[in-house]
Amino acid sequence: MFAALWRWLGFGRNPYEEIASETDSQPPRPATPVPAPAALSRSEESTVPAELREDPHPPWSLGGVVSTVDKDRLLDDVIDRLGVYLELAESGPERTFIQGISDAVYRGQLNIPAFPDVARELDALLRHGDPMMTQVVRLVEREPALVQRVWTRASSAEFGGPPKGLHFAISRLGFDDLWRLAIQVCLQSELFRIPGFQSEADHVRDHGLLAADVAAELAGERRGSVYLAGLLHDVGKLMVYRHASVGLMYSSSAPDRVRQLVSELHASLGVMVAREWNLGESVALAMGYHHNPSKAPEDQQRTAWLVRAADIAVHVVDGERHGLLRDPAAALAEIPADWLRGKDPVAVARQAMKEFESQLQ
């Protein structure tokens, strides 16, 4: 199903299909620490199951927040926490895995691909109002992956045939959708290719895509920091999976440790990724505090609360599609009502899923 999503988003051939063949010969590893990806996975039935099994530990209740917004103190805190886990390590591969994260954080070398330049420049261009189409076309032409995505989306059945050129393709989509496609180019990077943990990486991406749509709808903003924070709010998990992929070498060692580090550190590591990508403090802190926005600086709480609402809502819809009852009432009641603009986050998530499914039919 992910291959269908990949094509719908305009990426063309799915490079992640190569991962399966590359890793088929690897030794088996334990059950994944993250639920099977489904936030954007289409099941046989689009209706909610009549009977749901209660999920006592909904995913939105599992995760830490950053301890501080100060860059140096955050670095020290993460290294200290990893030091505790190093002392608890029970095998050489487990120590290598944990030490790898610690070294990367200490050196400030996360070894992640750069955020797409064209996406950043397009964002800056659109902030000043509607630019000249010739400017936009020249910018888009610099990023082949974006050209392919724009052309694929603009050639879909809803438009009745392919456009006559890139100028017309962009006109069909509009600047808001073009902005989203440009931002989503980062999902095509090596950061999301993790042999041995590919299903987990897929889940982070799929969940983020739907959460971004929900958060933006709740905010009433087609583009901007709310969408970007929703899209990447769990990207810190990928830093743990990347080091587990190398340090554990697909062995059966320490599945619980991977799960623990993902839960405890993904918010802090996400802030580091956002800052390295220069996404802005609003995005970085929304990623860092999305599990408890009340702890964020007051002037940064709105985006964090909207991402929190979207995260919860997507997990609820995900649970329904897998026969799990995840009651969001208590968690959603904490969110300031004014920021939801009278909208029900779960209803928005269900509608977003239906719209996605309709594109695949």
Query: In the predicted model, what is the mean pLDDT of residues 71-82?
Result: 95
Give the whole-number percent of the chain exceeding pLDDT 70.
83
Please check whether residue 356 lies inside any domain of the structure: yes
Instruction: Please tell me the predicted confidence (pLDDT) of residue 249.
Output: 57
Confidence of residue 90 (pLDDT cuts 50, 70, 90): confident
Look at residue 19 and tell me if it is in a domain.
no
Average pLDDT over residues 288-297: 96
For the chain, what is the radius of gyration of the CA atoms?
Answer: 20
Q: How many CB atoms lie within 10 A of CB 127?
A: 10
pTM for the whole thing?
Answer: 0.84
Residue 282, domain extent: 33-71+192-360
Inter-CA distances, 235 with 165, 168, 238, 273, Å: 35, 34, 6, 8
- Say if residue 259's pLDDT is above 60: yes
- Kindly give, in sequence order, each residue whose CB lies less than 8 Å from that of residue 337, ignoring residues fewer than 6 positions away: none
Q: Give a yes or no: residue 142 inside a domain.
A: no
* 8-state DSSP, 189: S
Instruction: Report if residue 65 sits inside a domain.
Output: yes
pLDDT of residue 157: 80
Phi-psi sector, 170: left (phi>0), alpha (psi -120 to 50), beta:
alpha
Number of domains forming the structure of the chain: 1
Output the six-digit token pair for 3: 């291959």
The dihedral through the CA atoms of 353, 14, 290, 276 has a sign that is negative
Q: pLDDT confidence of 196, banded at 50, 70, 90?
A: confident
- Rounded CA separation 338/328 (Å): 18
Q: Residue 151 domain-assigned?
A: no
24 in helix, strand or coil? coil
**And the tokens for 139?**
């910018």
64 is a domain residue = yes
| Mean pLDDT estimate for the chain | 84
The Cα–Cα gap between 173 and 179 comes to 10
Structure tokens, 154? 């603009």
Place of tokens 């954080």: 105
Q: Does the structure show a pLDDT above 80 at 97? A: yes
CATH number at residue 341: 1.10.3210
Q: Which of 85-89, 112-116, 346-350 has the highest mean pLDDT?
A: 346-350
Averaged pLDDT for residues 190-201: 90
Tens digit of each residue's pLDDT (9 = 90 or more) over 180-194: 999 999 998 889 999
**pLDDT surpassing 90 at residue 251:** no
Residue 13 has pLDDT above 60, yes or no: no
pLDDT at position 356 is 77
The answer as to whether 154 is a domain residue is no
- Is 244 among the domain residues? yes
pLDDT band at 2 (very low <50, low <70, confident <90, very high): very low
